[in-house]
Every structure is written in structure tokens, then in C-alpha cells.
A and B are shown apart, each in its own frame.
Chain A
Amino acid sequence: MTTIPTLPPASTSDARAGSHVAAQRQRAGRKRPLFDPPIVRRAIRDAFVKLDPRRMVRNPVMFVVLIGSAYTTLVFIRDLLGGRSDWGFTLQLALWLWFTVVFANFAEAMAEGRGKAQADTLRKSRTQTTAKRLFDKSAGRIDRARFEEVNAEQLRRGDLVLCLPGDVIPGDGEVIEGVASVDESAITGESAPVIRESGGDRSAVTGGTKVLSDYIVVKITANPGETFLDRMIALVEGASRQKTPNEIALTILLSGLTIVFLFAVATLQPFAVYSGSPTTIPILIALLVCLIPTTIGGLLSAIGIAGMDRMIQQNVIAMSGRAVEAAGDVNTLLLDKTGTITLGNRQASDFLPVSGVEAELLADRAQLASLADETPEGRSIVVLAKTKFGIRAREVGGEHAGHRDVTFIPFSASTRMSGVDTGDGYQVRKGAGDAVLAWVRQAGGHTPADIDSAVRRVALEGGTPLLVAEKGNSHGPRVLGVVYLKDAVKGGIRERFDRLRAMGIRTVMITGDNPLTAAAIAKEAGVDDFLAEAKPEDKMALIQREQAGGRLVAMTGDGTNDAPALAQADVGVAMNTGTQAAKEAGNLIDLDSNPTKLIEVVEIGKQLLMTRGSLTTFSIANDVAKYFAIIPAIFVATYPVLQTLNIMRLHSPQSAILASVIFNALIIIALIPLALRGVTYRPAPAAVILRRNLFVYGLGGLIVPFAGIKLIDMLLVFSHLAS
């Protein structure tokens, strides 16, 4: 309990606002405009390549449109050769049906384009590298002088390579000797170098990154073609993309609806024959294409790819689309306290003097003891004394409060104290409770009666008590009081948890602290629950317990002992700085290694599902208007009274049918930005989100086509494209 706080590892210290802003800026720099010209050019070409029926058959809705387009084209050719007068109409119909398919392919190609562009960038860092392969494979005695230069392609799992400053690390591996600063910007986009060293949780290195200083010996852990970079390229490119469970379910629904409408349209011809006005097959195809859910059918895969792409823009690599989807479903978030909820370094928040000592005196002595202490805790004591009592920071080595020859006594593991000695025999110490008390007692002082209650109070509130004592002046050895070190909760984290709660997600804080401290921090941060004195197996048990209750669990982790829990969790976000084992166990990897990002990951998952649902609703709602455009158009010749159903007052049967088909095709193009960006997402309870999305996409889907079809009809008449 009462130990001097040690520095947390550099990787988890996340400066409050600074790094967030930096991350934002860095992301903004990487972001391309939605319609980036090179991507658009490639997408246009791909849209036609994708017309291959073998590819199209994977999307049943658009496959039906493809067949319809082909058939209508044949009818057009027959009409043209046969000299039929209405070939112009059939031609326009055929063209717009083809456009419908091409537009859908274009949407998918656009979504893929961004990933492909990124993959190209990544490929550049995979350019031919040579490796210094060591002859001796046994890790015991490594002879760094004996190596051969080989092509990185020849490396196999288990090989040892030497990386010197300036070398590109030839493959994924584990540092088994040495420590080096490594530039990982090729993978993470983050330009600040990171430290990689043997042993511990910072031993994993990624192929394609560059050693900047010192040297490391790396044991290769992945064969060429299976490296992280290879996998990343394949993922962002979408080469190994498979339909996700929800996408499959939605495809089944859309196919089912397509079959229902196929029956509705196919049986219309017999009814038309009965009514004495058989219609033409191209017109029935037009009706069918308008009724089947082409809007969502055409945009479905683009939405999925764009969701993965949004993850990449957040610097998170999803190992599968399934993981992105699961993120939206998460019910429980397990968050490590240090680095996620708290800043990871404790800050002084109060001075609690023992009776008979002024608070100001305690502050003054505590500041004196901390002057040369460069730890965040030490600095925070100096700052607090200044803000609270106006005590100015003084230079070490000069003259302070009447003392000369000030020497700084650094913290050591054996004394567990730090402080200051002055030339005239005055000493001040701060440190862990038992250490400081022992120091005072040894000098002949005594333990003040009220120190125990002060220490307990601080512990109860989730803080760390730091004792301050002095000796060598007129007062004799005595304890001055307690500095209240608080585990500072990250700014704005409480609001984020409130947002998660609004979405129905429970947050559980995991900490090694005792239950009292944990409870206090949990209360301050606003998490729903906490797991104190947690061991890795406790974490695992908690995940299994949550899952047994039907909940989906998300967590972050970086250490090897996190790996089993990461694998067990439904969404496991591994930190890029983490060990190889952790990265292999997780289904998402955060290149920024920012554990708080789990929240963004959840939001992206939700946005992906919302976009699918909203466009499905929009697509189905569209049908109402299309019925009112096409049905009267087909039969008005037989039953002139059906003109009553032509509530849009469309000009003629031909213009009505064309306008519907054109609207149906153009709406796909119009919705590409929405499909790629995702619907606007604001955290709110499901009922509120439903009301808003239903209003926009349900009601909007009902009304928009009425206006759109009418407008296109007017344009067609105006431009004499339909009579």
C-alpha cells in the first residue's frame, strides 16, 4: 500500500489532451477526400471488371438485375433489327438497367479503392530487404560477429537476425537481445520512435519497421508471406474478405424479398393476359428491378468494406469483418485501470498535516523534498504546493529556507524514500509509510497518533499516501504529515462512460489495487463495476461468466498473460506495442496502442450495423412510390380509370417507367457517400436512435422517391427522351 509510486511503462502513459489531438491530426493527414480522383478512376474501371457473372452471383439481388439488363439488351437488338418503333425506349431501359448494376459495382469498388491505395503504400515498405542472419541459432551465446547477408524472403521461423541502426527489420519477431529505438511509422503512421527490448512486454518487433539506434537480435517468428505486414496488406485490400454473419443474414432477407417480388411480377403477366392487355417483358423487368431491394443490395458490400476502412482510419486493424460487427454488439467492456481509466501516474491532490503542524509547512517541506524529483508524482507535489500556498519552486543546489549545500537523495528500492539533505544537517524525506516511520523512529522520533487515520483515509478514497518527515532542526525528528497522491482519472472519461451506458454497455474496471482503492476510483470514473486485486485468471473467469449470461465482452490487452483472455473475449483489441502472443490472440490490433480506443471501436461497429439497417429500411420504403408510378403506367391503356392511381401525375406510361428505373439507379450513386461514411452516429438509447433513424430513413424512404421520380419524369419530358 504505502510504497513510493513507480513510473508506469512509457507505452501506457497517455498525456491527457496532447496525444489525442496529435492522433486526430495524424489521422486527418492520412484521410483522403471521399472522392479522391485516383481512387475514382480505379473504381470506374473496376466497376466494369466486376460485371463478371461469376462474381455477380455472390450478390443475388444484383445478379437478378444483371440478367434483366442482358435480356432487355437482347430485346432491344431484336426490336432494332425488326424495325420496331419503340426501340428507343427499350434502349434507354436497357442502358439504365446496366447502369444500376455498374453503379452498385462502382460503390463496392470505391469502398475497396481506399483500402487498395493504403495497401500500395504498405507494399512499398515491404520492398526487398536484406537480413543479417546469425549462424548460431541457440539463444544461449550469441555471436554477433558471425552472420551472413540473406534476402528477407529466405528467412524462416526461428532464424536469428541482427539489426543495426538504419536496418529495416526483415520480419516479425521477438527481440532476444539488446535494446533499440525503432521507427514504426511505416505501420502505425506515428513518427515518434518506440523502444524495443528483450524480455517483458515490449519485445515484439514488426517487419518493415526501422532500427534507429543501438542494436537488437531478433528471433524471427513468422515465415515470409505470413507476417503482420502481409496480413495487414491483405486485410486493407479486402483480398481475404468474407461475408460477415450479419451480412449473410441480411443477404438471405434480401434474396427472400427478391423471390417474393419475382412471384409478384411474374404472375402479373397472366393477370394482364386475363385482363386483355399483356405487357412486354422489358417492362416487367423494369418493375421487378424497381421493386427488389437494389439500393441496399447494391451498397451492402460497400458498407461492410467501408466499416473496416473506418477502423483503419482510426489506426485499428480488424483481423476479420466479424470482429467489427461483434464490436457493435458488445454488452460489457473490460477496461484496465492504468492507462485506460487513469493516466497511470499519480498526482498530489492534498496535504494532510499531523496535529501541531501547519498545512503550509508540510507543503513547503514536501516541495523541498521533491525539488529534484523528476517523476510525475514529484513534479505534481511541487505544482500543488505552489498553487495551494503560493510556495515558489526553488533551485536545488542554491540556498533554501536558510539551508545551504542542498543535495538530492534519489529514490532507491532499498530505502523506498527520496528527499533532500542540506549542508547544515537538516534532512527531509518523503516515501512509503513504513519506510518513513522507520526512519523517524531510528532517529529517535515517534509515530504521531493521528497518522494512521490519515493514511487510512487516503487509501479509502483510492489514493496513495506519501509520508513526509524531517530531522536535524529545532523540532527534532518528526513526521509532518501525508501527501495525498491521487490516481488521476483521465479527463472526459466519465462522460464517455455515460455515453456507453446510454448505449446499454456496461463498463467493468480491472485493477490490481485493493477493493477499497478500486471502489473509490470506480466511483470517480463512473464505471459500472470493478474487479479488484485482479489476476489474469480472474479476468478470464469474469469474461466467461459474462458470456455465460449471454453477453458479448470486449477488452484490450498487451501482455502475454492477457493472451488467453483476449482470445476468449468476443472483441479483443491487442495493443501494437504488446507481445506477439497478445497480438495473435486479439481480433483487432490498435496501432496507436491506445486502450481508450476500445470505445471508438464499439462505435464504429454500431455505426456499421446502423448503416445497413437504415439503408434496408430506406430501400424497402421506396417500393411504395414505385408501385404508384409503374402499375398505372402498365395498365392505363386497358383501364383508363387507373390514371387515378397515378398520383404523381407522371407524363406518360413510358416516362413513368423510365423515371422509376432512372431513380432506382441514381439513388445508388447518391447514397454512396452515406454508405462509405456511415450514418450519423450519436450515442443514445436504442429507442431514441430507432426513432431518429426511422424518421430519416423510413419516412424519408417513403417520400423521397415520390419527389425524385416526379422530377426525373419532368426532365425526361423536357429533354424529349420520353414521349
Chain B
Amino acid sequence: MTVNGWLQILFFCVSVLVVAKPLGLYLVRVYNGTYRWLAPLERVIYRMCGVDAQEDQHWTRYAGAMLLFSAASMLLTYVVLRLQRMLPLNPQHLPAVVARQAFETSASFTTNTNWQSYVGETTMSYFSQMSQLAFHNFISAAVGMAVAVAFVRGIARRSAGRLGNFWVDLTRGTLYILLPFSLVVALIFVQQGVIQNIRPYLEITTLEGAKQTIAMGPVASQEAIKQLGTNGGGFFNANAAHPFENPTPWSNFWSMLTIFMIPSALTYLLGRMVKNQKHGWAVWAAMFVLFFGGVWMAYWAEARGNPIHAARGIDVAGAVAGHSAGNMEGKEVRFGIANSALYATVTTDASCGAVNAMHDSFTPLGGLVPLVNIQLGEVVFGGVGAGLYGMLVMVVLTVFIAGLMVGRTPEYLGKKIQAREVQVAMLYILVFPAAILTMTAISVLLPAGLKGLNNAGPHGLSEILYAFTSTAGNNGSAFAGLTGTTYYYNTMLGVNTLIGRFAMMVPMLALAGFLAEKKSVPESAGTFPVTTPLFVALLVSVIIVVSALTFFPALSLSPVVEHLLMNSGKLF
């Protein structure tokens, strides 16, 4: 680890903190309907879709609208991918996407996962990329934000279970937040050298005389929303490691900042809407503690490199005297160790899943960090919206467990947490490990599951575990090393993304609805404090104990044992 590396990491941390308030204020005004600079356009959209913008929806209607919209948009994408050949903007004349992959891809993009078992440049036409995948990048993010805002409203109001209007939240999130911001970010990327065109691929003759095909495309625009919406689906197969997607350290910095920007600002929105700004910052702090711990461990593990190399004297000297170059396998030289470790932590904390280095090539402990980050439930800043509501479910759970210790029926910001709330919160908590562990367990027993494996032993288990963790967590990053283009994996992983999104969103909206039905108890000295450093520590502990410990047995047979074996000189 170098001072330079740490300075870059700290610069990023400060940036995440600084954007929280201004952007948060903007989000509050957008969702409260006070900033409506595109009001005429908004009205046209509502009229065209037949939406009653004044309707305050009960949580069941809100959830129903969300499910209906997601199902319809997923079906549309499936159809377009299947009919790709007949549709325009296909200069390479790419054929239709096969059924199982079209299912998986449409599920994956609808759920903000962007798990890609296909190779973008050889599977998707420009039309599919722009009209479907980019479209989902916008609306799946807008759905996440809408649901998070609805959840916050459930805490803040007393409204007989009404949470706002899904269609209005969806429209406003897209119109006022995602579209303008991704436009600006796209321009920054173009300035940094990210390509943006719809030309056919270039045929180049290299210096050695070999023929090479250089893929082209509208990359910058896709890249902006891919990060801003924590989608992570790369235009190219190499994702953000590709020089056309992420050419410079600055484009790398902007990528990471756009990933964390909205999740960080949403904590400010939380504080503002529930009229307890300190609580908003406490939630931010809990996220930051978990994030920083991850960065530290990943950076440490990668900078330390492989002890087997060091022992045999084949270590590459680093740029700074006295420091080894660390583990550079699978990393881009223009980013180096610090920015690769940071990017891996950010992208897995935030359910983004874009990668600028191959997680599969990380050291075992370095690779453990992305895996655990997702297993924490994607609550460390998390996906846009999804991170906040996931974290708030953990807050509700923390308040319930620890709140009893102060001698009162636990209450969260004045709302009593009782049997019904605990029931849906536990359902939310339960779905995630149940899906990941069950599907991984089935896969390691079935020949179909083992067939796709490129590595044996604990590393192979890590690869399968990572795939199901990533899809259930709606992250979409891949450990690689697992051949996912089989009937088995396309189906299982596609189903897993749907479970990880909707089987969790519905209980979460129910929780919000139940909270919105409750009277709010005024705060007093007897109220469980949700603003103190102690609360932050408690929240972090509960997240670690409840989420990560569930996976401890599985992890100890994969990255943990692999790390110990590496230390004793054995690799996989």
C-alpha cells in the first residue's frame, strides 16, 4: 500500500461525502414535486399513459404498479432480443439472441442486475443496446429510487398505508435525475476519450500485419447511465477495463463517483424527509464504515500480492521503492492496485457490477471483499434506491433487536416495530441467503452445475457462489471463470435475479405500508437513539452478524480456505 494510493482513495471518499447534501436536496425537491422544470412534458406523459398523477397509492397498489411495469418491460426486451435480426441499427447483422439468453438478459436488465452471459459486441445490435438495455438502465434505476422514496415516505408519514404514486415517482426520477445527469456524465466521458458513434466495426491491420476487428458503438451514453443507475452492464465484454469504456484514471474516478453519487445523496433525502438529518448522516456513516473496511482489506490483500511469488523471488518491483507491485494479474496498468481495489469495492458495494479488473484474479482475500460486499445485502450505499431500502430494513431489524434493551417496544423514528413489521422484515432478510445458498448447493451437486466450472477446489466453489450471490444481490459483476452460457446457468441465474429483486421489494413495500399506517410516537429521552455513533456501530454489527455470518460456513470452504492454502503454498 502506498501513500499515493491512499490519497486517491481518500480523495474519492471526500467526494462521496461532498455530493451527498447538494444532490440530496435536489432529490428531495424532485420527489416532493417542488422542482418541476419539465412540468409540461411531465403532464404530456401522464396524459399519454392515462395516469392520475394526484392518486396517492396504497402500498399494495404501488407494489402492483411496480410489478406490472417491470413485467411488461421485461417482456418487451425479450421480444426485441428475439427479433433483433429484423430490427434496424444492426450493421454487423447479428442474429437473434437465443431464447434462454434472451430470458436471462431481459430478467437481468429489468432487475438492475445486468449480469451478462453474452459478449456485447458479438451478440447485441446497436438497436438492442440503445432501445432495450440502455432503456432498462434508466427505468430499472428509476424504479429502485421510486421504491426507496416510497419506503422513506412510509416512515415519515401517517397515511393509512399510502406511499405516493409509482408512475409519478418513476417519471420524475427518470426525467429530472437520470436523464440530465447521465447527459452531463456522458459528455465528461466523451471528453476523456470514451467513444460515441454508431459506425460499423473497424477492420484494422496491425503492425504485425494481422487483421483485427475493433468494436465501435454509442459507448459514452450507455456508460454514463450504466454507472449512474448502478446497472453495471458493460457495452463491451471487458466492461470498464476496456479502453473505449474507461480510458483514463479520471474517467475511472468519474465512473466510481457516479456509482456512489445517488446512493450517497439518498441518505440525505432520508434525513430530510423524516425530519431527522442526523439519522440520515448516521445511515451514511454506517455505509461508509462498511465501505471503508472493504476498501482497506481489498487494497491490503492486492498490494500484498501473492506470497508464493515473493518467496520465489519472482515479485515485480513496484513504482515506489520498498513496495512490491502486488498482485497485478487481471488488472489494467493505467489503474493500478489502489484504483482496482477501490473500483472492485465500489462496484460490489453498490450493486453496480461494472468491473475495471478481473475479480477472479484477485488474491483470495481480495476476492472475498467483493463477495462479502454483495452478501451484506447490497446495503453499503447499494444500488440506486435498493441500497437505501435494504439498509432501512436492516435499521428496522437493528432497532427491533437493540430497541428492546432500552425498555420500550422498539420504535423507529416514532413508529412502533411490532409483529407485522418484524414478519415482513424477516421475510426480506430470509429470501436473500435462502436463494443464494440453495441455488449454489444445487449447482455444486448437479453435473450441469459443475460442467461450467473452469477451476477446481475452493476456487471453483467461490466462482459458483459468486455467480448466485451477484445475481440475487442484483449486482451483475462476475467472478468469471464460470461458463454461464448453458441452459442450466442461464435459467437459474435469470430466475435468481428475479427473486433477488421482486421477492424482496414486495415485503419491503409491505413494511413501508405497515409503517405508514402507524401513529408516530413523539421523541423523548426514553426513545431509542438512531443518530449516535453507538447506533452506527450497532447497525454495522447487526449487518455483519445477520448477513455475513449466514455465509460464513460457505465462505470458509471457498475464499477463506483458499487464502490459507495459498499461504501454505497451494494455488488453484
Which residues of A line the B interface, CB within 8 A? Answer: 245-246, 248-250, 252-253, 255-257, 259-261, 263-275, 287, 325, 328-329, 331, 501-506, 549-552, 605-607, 609-610, 612-614, 616-617, 620-621, 623-624, 627, 631-632, 635, 639, 641-642, 644-645, 681, 685-687, 689-691, 693-694, 697-698
Contacts and interface: CB of A to CB of B under 8 A. Distances in A.
Contacts of A287: 553
A693 to B, nearest CB: 4
Interface in B384-442: 397, 400-409, 414, 417-419, 421-423, 426-427, 429-430, 433-434, 437-438, 440-442
Nearest to B440: A267
A328 B445 contact: no
A502 B442 CA distance: 55
B408 A329 contact: yes
11 contacts: A245-B418, A249-B422, A250-B404, A256-B426, A272-B557, A275-B557, A503-B407, A614-B404, A617-B402, A620-B401, A690-B406
A610 B407 contact: yes
A617 B423 contact: no
Contacts of A264: 433, 437, 550-554
B524 A506 contact: yes
B461 A690 contact: no
Q: Is the interface of A mostly helix, strand, loop or mixed?
A: helix
A505 B526 contact: yes
Interface stretch (B162-170, B269-277, B515-523): B515-523
B560 A645 contact: yes
B544 to A, nearest CB: 9
- Range of interface residues on B (Cβ < 8 Å): 35 or more
B545 A620 contact: yes
Contacts of B520: 550
A506 B418 CA distance: 23
Contact of A609 (B407, B418, B556): B407
Given A613-B404, A689-B405, A551 B418 contact: no
B89 interface: no
B525 A249 contact: no
A613 B401 contact: yes
Contacts of B426: 252-253, 255-257
Interface in B62-91: none
Nearest to B428: A256
Given A263-B434, A551-B522, A613-B404, A687 B534 contact: yes
Of listed B397, B437, B522, B541, residue having the most chain A CB within 10 A: B437
B528 interface: yes
B527 interface: yes
Contacts of A617: 401-402, 405
Contacts of A272: 557
Contacts of B440: 267, 270-271
B62 to A, nearest CB: 24
Given A267-B438, A642-B564, A686 B526 contact: yes
A685 B405 CA distance: 12
Nearest 7 Cβ contacts at the A-B interface: A504-B526, A613-B404, A606-B407, A256-B426, A504-B524, A613-B405, A504-B525
A287 B554 CA distance: 14
A550 B527 contact: no
B480 interface: no
A609 B519 CA distance: 21
Nearest to B460: A274
A550 B521 contact: yes
Nearest to B566: A641
Contacts of A246: 404, 409, 418
Given A249-B421, A271-B557, A627-B552, 7 more contacts: A260-B429, A263-B437, A264-B554, A271-B553, A606-B408, A642-B564, A689-B407
Contact of A641 (B434, B441, B460, B568): B568
A613 B554 CA distance: 29
A642 B407 CA distance: 42
Contacts of B433: 260, 263-264
Nearest to A685: B525
B418 A635 contact: no
Given A248-B419, A252-B426, A270-B444, A503 B525 contact: yes
B177 interface: no
B160 interface: no
B532 interface: yes
Contacts of B458: 275, 639
A594 B526 CA distance: 25
Interface string B530-561: 00101000100100011001111110110011
B406 A645 contact: no
Interface string B454-467: 00011011000000
Given A263-B437, A329-B409, A274 B445 contact: yes
A510 to B, nearest CB: 20
Contacts of B442: 270
A674 to B, nearest CB: 14
Interface in B501-520: 519-520
B95 interface: no
B529 interface: yes
A635 B553 CA distance: 10
Contact of A635 (B409, B429, B529, B557): B557
A335 B569 CA distance: 75
B409 A550 contact: no
Contact of B526 (A245, A256, A325, A503): A503
B467 to A, nearest CB: 14
Nearest to B567: A641
B409 A275 contact: no
B567 to A, nearest CB: 8
B419 A273 contact: no
Contacts of B25: none
B565 interface: yes
A550 B523 CA distance: 10
A273 B527 CA distance: 49
Given A273-B445, A549-B522, A694-B534, A249 B418 contact: yes
A610 B406 contact: yes
A17 B3 CA distance: 70
Given A249-B400, A252-B422, A271 B408 contact: no
Contacts of B438: 263, 267
Contacts of B409: 245-246, 325, 328-329, 609
A252 B507 CA distance: 15
Contacts of A693: 405-406
B430 to A, nearest CB: 6
A689 B561 contact: no
B550 A686 contact: no
B556 A686 contact: no
Nearest to A253: B422
A572 to B, nearest CB: 18
A269 B529 CA distance: 42
B321 to A, nearest CB: 32
A248 B419 CA distance: 6
Contacts of B421: 249
Contact of A270 (B408, B445, B565): B445
A642 B556 contact: yes
A12 to B, nearest CB: 29
Nearest to A628: B552
A690 B405 CA distance: 6
A550 B522 CA distance: 7
A686 B528 contact: yes
Contacts of A623: 545, 549
Contact of A504 (B405, B461, B527, B534): B527
